[in-house]
């Protein structure tokens, strides 16, 4: 049964990774999480934006980024423009302001497509974890540390877990799609 616990832990990590990926997918609303993957050149080192500035969301459609070091303002602007988030930062020398434009219908469809692809990759990862778990269980049965009945029971449990995690992925995707389409 320890093998199933390992597989379930790996499946949980897959779900957590999916949620993290979805946080960085832009919707029509302002969110500091969309900058999680943005890296700023901080004295030659790519550094996460949230480690060199404060990111706040004063209104539903605007974001304010306040660098800890004012000399970084240009680097932060460059990093945001290069990030493919489709945002136009403007600065007043102290802070960077970003207006979040409403998403076009085409952009929404594109983001939903991206979300579906990410979800499918997670489903594939879950199935691969199931396969690895089943292989490990079969090895244990060959070694004699697991009976035939034990193998069947463990495989059934692993399949139930797989089904549950696939359902979770579908639910998370559905919520993200709704969020993107409402914007």
Return the domain boundaries, the chain: 1-26+104-182, 32-99
pLDDT for the residue 145: 87
Q: What is the pLDDT of residue 1?
A: 52
Q: Which residues of 39-53 are buried (b: 16+ CB within 10 A; e: fewer)?
A: bbebeeeebebeebb
Q: Which CATH class is domain 32-99?
A: alpha beta
- Closest of 179, 125, 150 to residue 15, by C-alpha: 125
Helix (H) or strand (E) holding 80: helix 73-82
pLDDT of residue 34: 83
Domain spanning 1-26+104-182: which CATH class is it, in words?
A: mainly alpha
Instruction: Catalogue the long-range contacts made by 171-179 (C-beta closer than 8 Å, 24 or more residues apart).
Output: 172/15, 172/18, 172/19, 172/22, 172/119, 173/115, 173/116, 173/119, 176/22, 176/25, 176/115, 177/112, 177/115, 177/116, 179/27, 179/29
What is the mean pLDDT for each group of 10 consecutive residues in the chain (183 residues)? 82 93 78 86 89 88 89 89 83 88 84 93 96 93 89 93 96 92 75
Residue 99: φ, ψ to 5°? -90, 130
pTM: 0.74
Position 183 scores a pLDDT of 59
């Amino acid at each position: 049964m320890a093998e199933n616990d390992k597989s379930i832990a790996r499946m949980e990590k897959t779900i957590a990774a999916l949620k993290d990926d979805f946080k960085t997918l832009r919707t029509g609303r302002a969110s500091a999480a969309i900058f999680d993957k943005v890296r700023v050149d901080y004295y030659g080192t790519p550094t996460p934006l949230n480690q060199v500035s404060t990111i706040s969301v004063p209104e539903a459609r605007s974001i304010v980024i306040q660098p800890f070091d004012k000399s970084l303002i240009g680097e932060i602007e460059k990093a945001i423009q290069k990030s493919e988030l489709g945002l136009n930062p403007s600065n007043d020398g102290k802070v960077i302001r970003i207006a979040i434009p409403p998403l076009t219908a085409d952009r929404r469809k594109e983001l939903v497509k991206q979300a579906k692809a990410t979800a499918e990759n997670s489903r594939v990862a879950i199935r691969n974890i199931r396969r690895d778990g089943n292989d490990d269980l079969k090895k244990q049965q060959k070694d004699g540390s697991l009976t035939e009945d034990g193998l069947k029971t463990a495989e059934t449990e692993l399949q139930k877990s797989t089904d549950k995690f696939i359902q979770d992925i579908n639910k998370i995707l559905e919520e993200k799609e709704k969020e993107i389409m409402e914007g």
